[in-house]
Structure 1
Amino acid sequence: MSRLVVLAGPTAVGKGTVVRALREIEPTLYLSVSATTRPPRPGEVDGVHYHFIDRDDFDRRIEAGEFLEWATVHGTNKYGTLRGPVDERLSRGEPVLLEIDLQGARQVKETMPDAHFVFLAPPSWDELVNRLVGRGTEDEAERERRLATAREELAAEGWFDQVIVNDTVERAARELSGVLHESR
């Protein structure tokens, strides 16, 4: 059975960008698609980027035990990882990567303590702020909310098994690929 690798880090650190680069290196890697109650951003496709579901359906799935983890992120929307597809891939010996937030990672640790937890860190606080502002997908109030959450997440870096600094996307993706190979 493969060991699950969990990738977490603060908002705008580049988790999605690093994972896209990783998929170029590891095209057969199963990346769990998270569910969320937030609306899609321009260009996002349901079932590809996220499973976009309404709050009532999300809550029903929580009650049914269908999530490996779930959390309310930035105080507004719920995100979660559906348990079924992850368990299925792991039982077949396939590598699985979860790209989730700190709250979700802590929940996974409770149910799957043998998973390997990787923190993706920014090269500096200023660079993290620049990345968040530069992507232009949040208004000022949302940016401030996300930065407050990011400070808490950065403080938890020591909780993780490993830290990868996202100074360049290609290097961070190669390092994460190495982690996946170690977990097989």
Structure 2
Amino acid sequence: MQSPNNLLKNRGKLVVISGPSGVGKGTLLKMLSDRYPGQILFSISATTRRPRPGEVDGRDYFFWTRKKFEAAIEAGDFLEWAEYAGNLYGTPRDTVEEWINLGQTVILEIELVGARQIAKNYADALRVFVAPPSMEILEQRLRGREQDAEAAIAKRLARAREEVEAADEFDFTVINNELEVALRQLEKAIFS
């Protein structure tokens, strides 16, 4: 059995990645995962939104009913949770805490409200904000996905402005203008 000091020494870390919808967080994290296979684990969030084309339950998200999600909130089963664009999103607590206790680096890709909850509950979490080079470029990216109606895009852009204003709440800000440069900045933030 390990002593308490060894358990603390072997403890992993929690890394929070946040930023506006469409900023490229998913692309950067996929590149990071490809570059560092087995060295980082990604938490799987639960959500009440519908799956996008190609998304798989249990791999991309846990796609839950609102009733199941609300029961998990009541039971205290989330590290963080929030409502965004009419859907609930949250990070189930048990698996993430187990991985951290086993010495793993665990990455949470979450929105601002959840990142703020993590900042309160896990003061030692590393918090990284991914920002767009400009709001105009972010709008182009959102429209280029061709997944949202005009009203949804307008709502995401309004929310993005609020999120960008909160970037100084994070430990690091990565501006995703050129993918390779942004990836190097993200690597430095996580592994330094």
TM-score category, normalised to shorter length: over 0.9
Which amino acid is 1:5 matched to? V
Provide the secondary structure at the position in 2 that maps to 1:30. Answer: strand
Asked if structure 1 preserves the Cα contact closer than 8 Å seen for 2:172 and 2:189, the reply is: no
Conserved? CA contact 2:18–2:128, under 8 Å = yes
Secondary structure at the counterpart of residue 68 of structure 1: strand
Q: Which ranges of structure 2 fall in alignment gaps of 5 or more residues?
A: 1-10
Residue 147 of structure 1: aligned partner: 157
Q: CA deviation at 1:174?
A: 2.7
Flag the structure with larger Rg: 2
CA distance in 2, matches of 1:26, 1:52: 27
Query: Contact 1:34 / 1:81 at 8 angstroms: preserved in 2?
Result: yes
Partner of 1:166: 176
AA matched with 1:10: P
What letter is aligned with 2:125?
A
Secondary structure of 1:80's aligned partner: strand
Choose from 5, 18, 22 the match for 1:12: 22
For residues 147 and 56 of structure 1, what CA distance do their matches in structure 2 show?
Answer: 29
In structure 2, distance between residues paired with 1:42 and 1:57: 23
Percent of pairs identical after alignment?
A: 48
Amino acid at match of 2:145: R
Superposition deviation, residue 164 in structure 1:
0.5
| Cα distance in 1, alignment partners of residues 45 and 124 from structure 2 | 21
Q: Which has the higher contact order (CA 8 A, sep 6+)?
A: 1
The TM-score with structure 2 as length reference comes to: 0.91
Superposed counterparts of 1:69-84, under 5 Å: 69-74=80-85, 76-84=86-94
Determine if contact 1:21/1:169 at 8 Å carries over to the other structure: no
For residue 101 of structure 2, what is the amino acid of its counterpart? S
Q: Matches of 1:92 and 1:81 in 2, distance apart?
A: 18
What letter matches 2:143 in structure 1?
V
Residues 1:93 and 2:103 aligned together: yes
| 1:78-116 residue CA offsets vs partner (Å, 9 max, x unmatched) | 001111111011001111111000000000111101101
Please give the secondary structure, in 1, of the residue aligned with 2:188: helix
- Distance apart, 1:151 and its partner CA: 0.8
Superposed CA RMSD: 1.0
Question: What are the equivalent positions in structure 2 for 1:1-184 lying under 5 Å apart?
Answer: 1-28=11-38, 29-74=40-85, 76-182=86-192
**Structure 1-normalised TM-score?**
0.95
Q: Please give the per-residue CA displacement for 1:3-34, whole angstroms capped at 9, x wherever unaligned.
A: 21100001110111111111111211101111
The alpha carbon displacement at 1:168 in A equals 1.9
Checking the alignment, whether the CA contact within 8 Å between 1:5 and 1:117 is kept in structure 2 is yes
What runs of 5+ residues in structure 1 fail to find an aligned partner?
none
Off by >4 Å, runs of 4+ in structure 1: none
How far apart, CA to CA, are the structure 2 residues paired with 1:168 and 1:7? 18
Between the aligned partners of 2:95 and 2:180, the Cα distance in structure 1 is 28
